[in-house]
Amino acid sequence: MSVSVQENQTKLDSFKAYVRKMKQYEEAIALIYWDMRTGAPKKGIETRSEVVGELSTEVFRMSTSDEMGAYLDYFIQPEQLDQLDSISRKMVLECKKEYDRSKKIPAEKYQAYVVLTSQAESMWEEAKHKSDWAMFQPYLEKIVATTKEFIELWGYEGNKYNTLLDMYEPGMTVDKLDQVFGALRDKVVPLLQRIQASPNQPDRAFLNQQFEISKQKQFSLSILKQMQYDFEAGRLDETVHPFATALNPGDVRITTRYLPNDITSALFGTIHEGGHALYEQNISKDLVGTNLCTGTSMGIHESQSRFWENVIGRSKAFWNRYYGELQSIFAGQIDDVDVDTFYRAINHIHPSLIRIEADELTYNFHIMIRYELEKGLINGTIEVADLPQAWNAKYEEYLGVVPSNDGEGVLQDVHWSGGAFGYFPSYSLGNMYAAQFNNTLRKELPNFDELVEAGNLVPIKEWLSDKIYQYGKLLTPNEIVKQVTGEELNPDYLVQYLEEKYKAVYGI
């Protein structure tokens, strides 16, 4: 081995060790966040937020340090970059992108922002519980103002919102999103109108009863095991707003919310978060400790949560297999309800107020509303103080419903309290990706429904692991979609899926 090759390898090993240290800090931060959201004492939140701020700032400093800059200056040169293996090359490119963006933000300003959002998340939880917008408004005004300030420092092309979109869905722009949302809206609205006009509305009366929470937990845990969620590499807890936290592939935690008068909320929320977790648990071990050991984008991530929740969890084949188990757990409550009635009930299409409880079809309108509000906030056409009124107006326009209070309106989601602007579109993108993946998967596993009905979800999970999960962030969202399906994102697959399913459910 020549000296130059040895030097290159030593420098690469040093760079990887530096990145691994950053990832270890991030794992500690994620664990603290998980604790804050699942039961940390309320009186400790303020101090704990400062701890998060300090640790996050240390990671921020490392990502923008002279040492990182020296590594990147060395490896970003074509003669060096071309010699790197695919993982090392992608690590460098991802660090370079983060470095160029983060270097523009003063460390003290970043730390203040992290502390602000940590405190805001706790204040949001209380404000939501009390339905008190005034409690949360000052925090959100500061978050929006800081976000807009950061965008000016980062720079942007075209719409200012593009910079935020790219953080969650690399390569996505307002122009592209407006196009796919417009195409989806144009085709889904007529379908919704036909569904609402159908005389074959599902019977849902049997769902209006109390379902013991301990039994809901029992069934949720059972389904997670069937999905191949690895409980030796994760756990299920309760929280106000369901979420998944990936510390590393060996520790991916999920939460859910149990409602005593709703058997479906926790069940589908658990399956949804379980889909996120399967992605993270099955990333290649070769990526552990690198900045690639995570999902490639939030849209692809959401494609997996929505795939498991809807394509599988709300399918007839799934309930042909598991409905008997549900009846047994809730003995005496749904004994006289057959599986067809149950299946139609859980696939009821009805415009509603709460995003996380929305049906498959109208869910996308919830996302479009948030997307339009966020664009307005970032581009200065909507003020934070006017959000409740703007929110209510759009809900009436898009879904024909109006919140009775801000808890079920503008305060219902946690995302803005954490500064996650640009995140919401990934949910609808996830629906589109999921439908497109489903189209390909069924061609390659033509016995898909038979596998689900037999309770054999292993081949499906293995297909997803092979095609999507293992790559982590090694491939871009567009590379994943093209590699798996042979084409770029196409909203027509979601329209086709919705039409086929709901024409059958409603007999139209």
How do strand 236-238 and strand 244-248 relate by DSSP bridges? unpaired
d(CA 129, CA 142): 21
Who's near 102: CB < 8 A, 6+ residues apart?
60, 63, 64, 110
Give pairs for 389-394: CB < 8 Å, separation 24+.
394/369
164 Cα distance to chain centroid: 15
d(CA 110, CA 112): 5
Question: Encoding tokens for residue 167?
Answer: 């953080």
241 labelled ligand-binding:
no
Closest CA to 359 of 233, 163, 505: 505
**Tokens 């794992």 identify what position?**
27
272 labelled ligand-binding:
yes
User: Which backbone phi and psi does 248 adopt, to 5 degrees?
Assistant: -165, 170
Residue 201 gets the label, from left (phi > 0), alpha (psi -120 to 50) or beta, of beta
Cα dist from 463 to 280, 457, 483, whole Å: 15, 10, 13
232 labelled ligand-binding:
no
d(CA 263, CA 212): 9
Any idea which residues carry the catalytic annotation?
273
Binding residue positions for Zn(2+)? 272, 276, 302
Binding residue positions? 272, 276, 302
